[in-house]
């Protein structure tokens, strides 16, 4: 893949505040999944009150922060140690602390313990 395609768009913020701290960054490096993880192309995200708490600083995260706890998409890449998911699988992402951010992006690295398919948990 060409180098200029190794970036994605993401909604993020650098410091806590109101909605005006959010920005779209079109040059966020695409993360590389490690063993036991998959890369998911995000097609839809959930909007939850917890994102407001994170953005306002009530739940502290070091910036910059890509918001988003829940989402749905398609597995694009599978790494060593992943046997329950394959490239092309439709999945739902359900995040939990400490990894409660990251779905407000075009792609997300995700542990398979926080994925499920339309057929049920992976």
HEC sequence for 65-100: EECCCEEEEEEEEECCCCCCCCCCCEEEEECECCEC
> pLDDT digit string (tens) for 54-83?
999 998 888 898 999 899 999 999 999 999
Round the average pLDDT of the chain to a whole number and report it. 88
| Rounded distance between C-alpha atoms, residue 76 and residue 97, angstroms | 24
Q: What is the pLDDT at residue 1?
A: 40
Q: pTM value?
A: 0.86
Q: What is the pLDDT at residue 119?
A: 72
Q: What is the pLDDT at residue 114?
A: 85
Residue 2 has pLDDT above 50, yes or no: no
CB 73 within 8 Å of CB 43: yes
- E strand or H helix that includes residue 49: helix 49-55
């Amino acid at each position: 893949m060409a180098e200029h395609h190794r970036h994605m768009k993401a909604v993020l913020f650098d410091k806590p505040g109101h909605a005006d701290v959010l920005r779209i960054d079109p040059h966020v490096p695409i993360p590389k999944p490690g063993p036991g993880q998959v890369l998911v192309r995000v097609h839809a995200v959930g909007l939850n009150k917890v994102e407001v708490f994170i953005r306002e600083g009530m739940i502290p995260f070091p910036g910059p922060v890509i918001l988003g706890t829940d989402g749905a998409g398609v597995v694009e890449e599978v790494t060593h140690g992943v046997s329950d998911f394959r490239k092309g699988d439709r999945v739902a992402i359900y995040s939990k602390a400490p990894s409660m951010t990251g779905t407000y992006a075009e792609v997300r690295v995700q542990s398979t313990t926080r994925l499920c398919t339309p057929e049920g948990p992976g």
